[in-house]
A and B are shown apart, each in its own frame.
Chain A
Amino acid sequence: MASDALQKQVATKWQDSFNRLNRGYPGISGLMGFSEAWAIAADFLYPRELGDPPKDFNTQKVRSAFDVLIQCRMLPMLLESFVEDMRRRQHLITHDVMEFMAEYEASGDPDAIGRLILRLADWYMAWAPGGELGHTLSSAYIVNFQTHIFSILPPAFAGGFKRLIAATLALSTEPADAAGPSSVQDSKLWTSFELLGLADRYESLIASVCYEHIENHVLETCQGKWDEPMLSTLREWMADKVVPWMLLPYGRGAKTTEEARTMLQGVGSRFDFHVCKTLCDLRTKEIFDIIIDYPESSPALYDLKECLQRVDQRPQLVQALRKLNKRRLLHPGADTKDILTQYVSIIRCLRIIDPPGVLLFKVADPIRRYLRERPDTIRSIVASLVVDAESGDSLVDENEPIQPLQGPQVDDYMDPNWEPEPIDAGPEFRTNKPSDVISTLVSIYDSKDLFIKELQVLLAQRLLAIKDGNYEKERRNIEILKIRFGEAPLQVCEVMLKDMTDSRRIDQHVQSQTTSIMHPTIISRHFWPQLQSSKINMPGQLKDIQESYAREYTTFKPDKKLRWLSHLGSIHLDIELQDRTVTADVPPLEAAFIELFSEKDQWTVDELIARVGPVDRTTALKALLAWVDLGVLKEEEDSSFRLLEQADISGALRPSGSRVIMEDEPAVVSVQQQQAEQMKVFWKFIEGMLTNLGSLPLDRIQTMLKFAPGYDRTVDQLAAFMEAARREGLVTVREGMWKLNR
């Protein structure tokens, strides 16, 4: 039972509503008008099937109908009923979407997606209430329509969409391949994206398509192509091909070029960064081979330099190069000379990329450490220092000016152009100003002395090898080296060179007194590196020649005496046999042996060795077999040799079976051998201290070895040496205490 108050309230409400709808018209004519207007509006808005014939609406009538509704404040109700209608008719769109998606999934053709989108756009246009009906209505429509579409699009759509975008991009960048899907070329496509809100929703997807496209393009065009600058070409490509496409998704609604440019600026710089990054990654991966190809690959290095300025990937570059060096360069299989060549190329290349040298410093460290451990590094460097005309491959660029070696430099704070160290320089980074390659190589080692020593050995070898008396080349080399190393260290070399010219002068003088067929080279023992010592005695007439020459020399220089190094040099022999004369240029040992055959016709090897002096058997055999090859001697069964006064026709061409293959030893003792000599001295000291002090720990031995003159080994070297001694059973070690093995 409703109370009066309630009845009254309902009555008031009713009256209000009636008044609102009737708008003060007489009777219910207002109400009727409203009803008519509602019907027209609802019919106008009703979502229709696409194929249905569009109804003919009188715009005037529709507008007035809406006006009526607005007057009655019934627009929200209309909106509600419209949304409800849309919801009921949604199945039409869903049906279409499913159809197209099924087609796409079957064919994988992005064209299906393109058509789907165009179709959706059609739906959108068909259902749209028309902009003139007010903002509220259209925005409510957009939200509802998009919500619905997004809710029904299957997951496969994203992939398809991506492919569609890629297809448009490909179309834009490679117009030659114009046989793209039809929908892709439709200019309405992008408007549809915009219409459906896809452009915003899939923005990151569009960007990723573009990134991928850039990556592929960079890899395709730049991989392994180092001989021309690629970065500018890539940028041109971006401007010509990609930017026009970018206008579609990113420059929508730009009215002027100016406007478009500002809109594209942000995204354009992102893409440019990506170009640089991709190229940088690629070049970083290829860096080792680029360095090998230097200088042909220098354009690639300039590209890399520019990229690195844009993209901060210096640490990655350092890491990659260090890893590659370790894997491809610093292993026992690599030739020291190759390592040095590559190191020099690395120096040059990284100087292009990074002039201050921070990258170089970081990369070079392991190489330098490795080179220090190689025994023949110094020799290789020295060999390349001495420019050889015949072997053109020198580490040093001939165009590089010869300059003195540069030590580590101290910062000059008074320099107005002083610059702080680069930001990524490590604490132990030393600014080495662009110095020449040789300085850098020499600085691998702490002192120059090792080089000087090796240089002397090399020079001695080369001087002794010269037969025609033309020392100009060596003189030139020494002058060049003087500029590099300074006068003082090369004084010894100077003396060696002077010895050679002096020898000729003295020889001329001696010859003028008594002609001798011998032309010795007289060297000052103290200034030459140790020569292979061998004490062979020249027999017979060879000895007479030596002695008479020595006598003449002593009269010329009374305060000096010759000490013969009989085993060096060469002798020109004419051997007169009964039926023939054999002419040969032979080493002294061979000459000595054949001289002995003038005493008797048959000798055993042991007899020969006994006469000539301390020669090991292999060397002796080798000398004798040389004569066998010349057909002068014949090997008998009982390891004796017989002189063939008459040529042995039958065996003359017989190649000797027992030929000993042996490499010619250089006349000069190498630095390595000299070090071994030194180590013998140190061993005496170690022996001495272990005898008297009992067992000692390694560091104690190391400090005690300072008593030995010239001891400069590190503890590690000593440890290796002691370990070697232990293997030979000379010492034993227990709990770190070394003890003589007695």
Chain B
Amino acid sequence: MDQITTSLVPGARASAKSAVAGAGNESAGSVTKRLSNELMTLMMSSSPGISAFPKSDANLFEWAGTIEGPADTYYAGMTFKISIHFPPNYPYVAPVIKFESPCFHPNVDIASGAICLDILQDKWSAVYSVQTILISLQSLLGEPNNLSPLNADASNVWDSPAAFKAQLVRYYRPLTDEHSA
């Protein structure tokens, strides 16, 4: 009797494990599907100045993005690179987005590139998409939330255009091809 149970147990455990793994794959599959759909929508929509694409064909969860500064703001004519990391349980959890190129902005940490944007934290909802995030980020450049600054310096000089512009230009690095590959 003992022999039978011992011989059965590992098998049972193994099957349980594989069942779990299977469920994981399934959810990963639906996330992949959602991400492909978002990519398709983003590509076909012609929103000016925003764009994003998976970094490699093997991993759909890491994207690189580009945001052009909107006209009539301090950031006009500048282009910023961002990175987007989708968690495995996306879209129930917000993606992690960081500025890759230094961005002097009240809500952006100049060193780490971390962004303080409500919809990326507590206000996240599954109905948002990469496209909506990118549009929000683009408008954030022109209209910062000076009440919760990550970059206090930027927040302080926001209202004095000349000073702000000087700081911005000091930190800004125009895009080159080196960031690629």
Contacts and interface: CB of A to CB of B under 8 A. Distances in A.
A533 B66 CA distance: 35
B66 A691 contact: yes
Name, among B36, B43, B81, B180, the residue most crowded by chain A CB atoms within 10 Å (CB to CB).
Answer: B43
A693 B55 contact: yes
B179 interface: yes
Nearest to B180: A694
A691 B43 CA distance: 11
B168 interface: no
Interface string B48-62: 000111111100100
B65 interface: yes
Interface stretch (A83-91, A184-192, A542-550, A704-712): A704-712
B44 interface: yes
A709 B36 contact: yes
B40 interface: yes
Interface in A708-737: 708-709
Contact of B53 (A681, A688, A703, A739): A688
B180 A688 contact: no
B36 A694 contact: no
Contacts, number: 57
A688 B57 contact: no
B43 A694 contact: no
B42 A688 contact: yes
Interface in A409-450: none
A696 B53 contact: no
Contacts of B31: none
11 contacts: A684-B43, A687-B51, A688-B52, A691-B51, A692-B65, A693-B64, A693-B180, A696-B180, A704-B54, A707-B36, A709-B36
A695 B180 CA distance: 7
A692 B44 contact: no
Contacts of A31: none
B21 interface: no
Contacts of A685: 43, 53
B177 A688 contact: no
A683 to B, nearest CB: 9
A-B CB proximity, top 4 nearest: A694-B180, A692-B53, A692-B64, A684-B43
A691 B57 CA distance: 16
A689 interface: yes
A692 B52 contact: yes
Contacts of A739: 177
Interface of B: 36, 39-40, 42-44, 51-57, 60, 63-66, 81, 177, 179-181
A30 to B, nearest CB: 123
Contact-size category for A: 20 to 34
A220 B25 CA distance: 78
A695 B54 CA distance: 14
Contact of A688 (B51, B179, B181): B51
B49 to A, nearest CB: 10
A687 B53 CA distance: 10
A476 to B, nearest CB: 41
A700 B56 CA distance: 9
Contacts of B60: 707
Contacts of B179: 694
A694 B181 contact: yes
A693 B81 CA distance: 10
Name, among B53, B55, B60, B81, the residue most crowded by chain A CB atoms within 10 Å (CB to CB).
Answer: B53
A707 B52 contact: no
B44 A681 contact: yes
A700 B51 CA distance: 19
A681 B44 CA distance: 7
Contact of B57 (A681, A692, A694, A706): A706
Contacts of B36: 707, 709
A685 B52 CA distance: 10
A691 B53 CA distance: 8
Contacts of B63: 692
Nearest to B175: A694
A700 B42 CA distance: 20
Contacts of A704: 53-54, 56-57
Contact of A709 (B40, B42, B55): B40
A340 B153 CA distance: 76
A458 B179 CA distance: 50
A649 B52 CA distance: 68
Nearest to B84: A692
A533 B127 CA distance: 34
A695 B51 contact: no
Given A681-B44, A684-B44, A707-B39, A694 B53 contact: no
A708 B54 CA distance: 12
Contacts of A700: 57
Nearest to B39: A707
Nearest to B82: A692
Contacts of B56: 704
Contacts of B65: 692
A701 to B, nearest CB: 10
Contacts of B66: 691-692
A24 B66 CA distance: 139
Nearest to B50: A691
Contacts of A681: 43-44
Contact of B51 (A692, A703, A707, A709): A692
A681 B179 CA distance: 26
Contacts of B64: 692-693
Contact of A707 (B54, B81, B177, B181): B54
Given A684-B44, A693-B53, 8 more contacts: A687-B43, A688-B53, A689-B53, A692-B81, A695-B180, A707-B39, A708-B43, A709-B36
A687 B64 CA distance: 13
A709 B36 CA distance: 9
A446 B51 CA distance: 36
Contacts of B57: 700, 703-704, 706-707
A536 to B, nearest CB: 26
A27 B19 CA distance: 139
A492 to B, nearest CB: 24
A203 to B, nearest CB: 76
A710 B44 CA distance: 14
A397 B65 CA distance: 59
A98 to B, nearest CB: 93
A50 B44 CA distance: 113
A700 B57 CA distance: 8
Contacts of B43: 681, 684-685, 687-688, 708
A319 B37 CA distance: 52
A525 B62 CA distance: 38
Interface string A348-375: 0000000000000000000000000000
A703 B53 CA distance: 13
A681 to B, nearest CB: 7
A694 B64 CA distance: 10
Name, among A684, A693, A695, the residue most crowded by chain B CB atoms within 10 Å (CB to CB).
Answer: A693
Interface in A639-682: 681
Nearest to B179: A694
B131 to A, nearest CB: 12
A218 B64 CA distance: 77
